[in-house]
Amino acid sequence: MPDSAATAAAKPSENAGDSDSIATVCEMCFWKCGIKAQLRDGRVQALSGNPDHPLSRGRLCPRGVGGLGSLYDPDRLSQPMIRVGERGGQKWRPATWEEALDRTAEGLRGVAAHYGPEAIALFYHGAGGSFFKTLVKGLGSANIAAPSYAQCRGPRDVGFELTYGESVGSPEVVDMANARAMALIGTHLGENMHNTAVQDFTDGLRRGMRLIVADPRYSVAAGKADYWLPVRPGTDIALLLGWANVIIQNDWYDREYVASNSVGFDQFAAEVARYTPDAVYLETGIKPQVLVDTARELAQAAPHAVIHPGRKTTWYGDDAQRSRAVALVNALLGNWGQPGGFYLSSSAGLKGHPQQPPAPAHRAPADREAGQFPFAGSTLASGLREATLTGKPYPLKAWMVYSSNLPMVLPDPRRTRAAIQKLDFLVAIDILPAEITGWADVVLPECTYLERHDDLIAPWYREPYVALRQPVIEPLGESKPGWWMAKELARRLGLESHFPWEHPTDLHQARLLASGFSLEQYQSLKQRGVLRVDADPLYQPKDALYQFATPSGKIEFWSQQLADQGFDPVPVYRRPEQPGPGQFRLLTGRAPVHTFGRTTNNAMLLEQFPENEVWVNRRAAADLGLRSGDRVMLRNQDDVTTGPVKVKATERIRADCVYMVHGFGHQDRRLRRAYRNGGDDTAVTTRFKTDPLMGGTGMNLNFVSLEKQESGNEA
C-alpha cells in the first residue's frame, strides 16, 4: 500500500487563518476532550489540552498527545478499494471514489430492493457515525448499533435506570473531586485513562478521600487505596449485598432519606439479611472484619461517599443486576444529587437541523425476538450479528461498519466471521486497515479527526457546553471525511432531503441558530472550540424530595418492573463457575496509552507501551515453570489459542485468574507495527453469557491454560 497518506505534503486547513493554533476535539478515545493543535509549515507539530474546554481543562492524556502518531501513520488507508476474489481473501484493487461510492450505493440498493431496507445494519463507534446513522435511518432501517452498549456500558446504565430512573451518563456524573470516601469495583481509573475522570479522581485523593478498591488484581488505583479487597472473580454481588446488610444492620444508613425517597426498603432489607460478613467471606475471600470496616468507611462519609458505577461492566451475564446492587448501596448512602456523590447534569439543549425530515417508518430492530431483553435501551450489536447468522426475527444482508473493528470487539470472533459470510454486501469505513476491512466488499478510507468536521458535540455534563470538531489540516492522501461520504451516498440513493446542508459549517450554524445561539457565538465557537452554557444547580438540597423517573417516582429498592417480567426484584448472588485444574479465569483491561485496538499501531504510543503481557500470580507461574519474560500461548476451554504473549509473574494478582490488556495481537499484515504484536484476548473469548435483562455479553467466563513457547524465551 502506498505511504502517500502519511508522507504527502499537507496543507493547513482553512480554519488556520493567520494563527498556528487551532481548537478542535480529540477522538483518540470516546471522551472527546477539547484540544489545540500547533502547526508549522502545514504540519501538525503538537497537540495540547484546550484550557477553555471543561473536559480537558488545559490537560491531555497520553493518547491525546499521541494523536500525531495516528495522523501520520504510514499504514493509513489512503485510497478506496474494491474486493476481488473470495470474501476474506484480503485481495482488493484500487478504485476511484466515484466507482467505490457507486458500488456501495448499488450494494445497499440491491439489498433494500430484495429484502427491504431493514435488512441493512450499521455498526458504528465515534462521533463521525452520526452522518451514517442519518443515512441508514433515511433508508428505513432501525438496525443501528454501537457495540459500546451491549459489550461495555449497557448493563451499568440499565441497573441505574431500574433503580433511579436514569443512567449515570458519559462522562459519568460521579463527583469524585468532592468525595470523602469512594469504592471502585473492578474499575481501573488510571489505566482506563479518561482525562477528566482521572483529574477528578486525583483531586479527590489530594483532598483526603478514603479509597476502597475491590479487584482481583492490584491495579494502579489499588496502589492509591486505603483498602485493597482482592475479591474472588465473579463474587461482586455478594460483596455489595454484604455491604448493604452491614450498613442496614448497624443502622448506618440515613433513615429519613430512605423513608422519604424510596420504596421497597423493608423487602430489600429482608432479602439481604442473609449476606452476613461470615457468609460473604466464604464466597468472596474478603475477611468479615474488612467487610465491616469498609462499609463503615462509606457510611461515615455519607452522603459524600460513592461506589463508582464503572464503565465496562460486561463480566458474567448478571451484570445489570450487579449494577443494580451498586446503585442500591449508593442509595443507602443517600448520595444522589449530593456533593461527593452523584451530581445533577444538564445540557446545552442543542436542537437538530430545522429542515431535516423525520426518518420513515421502519420495522423494530432485528437484535432480539419479541419480549427478549425487555430492559435494553439501545440496539444490541451482538444481537444484530445473531440475526445475520440465524435470519431471525428477520434476515440482515448488508452491513455498514464505521470505525468499529468487529472481529476484535464482539465476543467469539468465529461467529462474527460466519455472520459476515452470510452477507450480500459489506462496506467498511475506517482510517486504518483494521481486521474488519479485510472482510469488506468495499473499503472507504476516512481521514482522521484532525482532518475533518463532525457534528456538534453537546453532552450532558456538570457544565453544559457545545464543542466543535474542525479540521486542522486538509485530508492526507485520498482519504475523505465521513460527512462527505454519507452525503454522496445519500445523493446516489435519493436521500438528499435528509442532508439539507451543503457543508458541516452550514449544519452547525443552523443547529445553533435554531437553539437560540447567535452568529457571534458561532464565530466564538470556531475560534475557541467550545461554547459554555449557564448550568442548572449541580446538587439537590438534602431535605428536598427528588422526583425520580421510575414508575414510583422514587428510588426502587424492590423493583416491581423486574418482578413483573419474571426477574429477581432484588439482586441475588449466584456462585459462578470456577476454572478447572491448570486453568485460570481470563480478565482483561486497558492501558493508559492505548484505546482498545485502535492505537496499537501508533508508533508514538508504542514507545510507551510496546506490547501486552499476561499477568500471572508468581507462585502459580513458578508451579508451571514460568518466569517474567517467558512467552506463552493461551489456550481456552474451546481449544482456541492466542498468539505468543509475554509473561508478567507478579504478586499483584490472585492465583485463580490471569490478566491481559485488550487490543493487541492484530492479524492484519497491513498493520506493520501491530501485526502479531502481543496476544489477542478476543480470540480466546469464545464463551459469553447474555444478560437476560438487557442483552449485554458477559465475557469473563473464559478459562485458559498457559503453554510455554520454548523458542520465544527471553533472558
The tens digit of pLDDT for each residue in 556-582 reads 999 999 999 999 999 999 999 999 999
pLDDT of 627: 97
Query: What is the C-alpha to C-alpha distance for residues 445 and 406, in angstroms, rounded to an integer?
Result: 17
Instruction: Say if residue 343 is exposed, middle or buried (CB neighbours under 10 Å; 0-12, 13-18, 19+).
Output: buried
Query: What is the C-alpha to C-alpha distance for residues 307 and 322, in angstroms, rounded to an integer?
Result: 12
Q: What would the grid cell of residue 310 be?
A: 464503572
Inform me whether the pLDDT recorded for 699 exceeds 60: yes
Considering only residues 712 and 13, tell me which one the structure prediction assigns the higher pLDDT. 13
CB count within 10 Å of CB 537 equals 10
Query: What is the C-alpha to C-alpha distance for residues 506 and 489, in angstroms, rounded to an integer?
Result: 19
pLDDT of 4: 39
pLDDT mean over 523-536:
95
Considering only residues 693 and 537, tell me which one the structure prediction assigns the higher pLDDT. 693
Inform me whether the pLDDT recorded for 294 exceeds 70: yes
Inform me whether the pLDDT recorded for 507 exceeds 90: yes
pLDDT of 88: 86
Residue 151 DSSP class? I
Inform me whether the pLDDT recorded for 420 exceeds 70: yes
Inform me whether the pLDDT recorded for 41 exceeds 60: yes
pLDDT tens figures, 167-181: 999 999 999 999 999
Domains, the chain: 1-77+448-479+514-544 (2.20.25.90), 81-146+378-445 (3.40.50.740), 153-343+552-564 (3.40.228.10), 584-712 (2.40.40.20)
Query: What is the C-alpha to C-alpha distance for residues 77 and 185, in angstroms, rounded to an integer?
Result: 39
pLDDT of 544: 81
Inform me whether the pLDDT recorded for 700 exceeds 60: yes
Q: How many CA atoms lie within 13 A of 312 on its CB side?
A: 22
Cα angle for residues 539, 542, 546 (degrees, 5° grid) = 75
Q: What would the grid cell of residue 651 be?
A: 504478586
Q: Name residues whose C-beta falls within 8 Å of residue 705's C-beta, 6 or more positions apart in sequence.
A: 582, 583, 584, 634, 635
- Residue 275 pLDDT grade (very low, low, confident, very high; cuts 50, 70, 90): very high
Inform me whether the pLDDT recorded for 428 exceeds 80: yes
pLDDT tens figures, 199-254: 999 999 999 999 999 999 999 999 999 999 999 999 999 999 999 999 999 999 99
- Residue 460 pLDDT grade (very low, low, confident, very high; cuts 50, 70, 90): very high
pLDDT mean over 267-290:
98
pLDDT of 541: 86
CA dist 686 → 89, 217, 635, 656 (Å): 23, 23, 11, 19
pLDDT of 12: 60
> Of 415, 361, 417, 365, whose CA–CA distance to 393 is shortest?
365
Percent of the chain with pLDDT over 70: 97
Inform me whether the pLDDT recorded for 6 exceeds 80: no
Residue 656 DSSP class? T
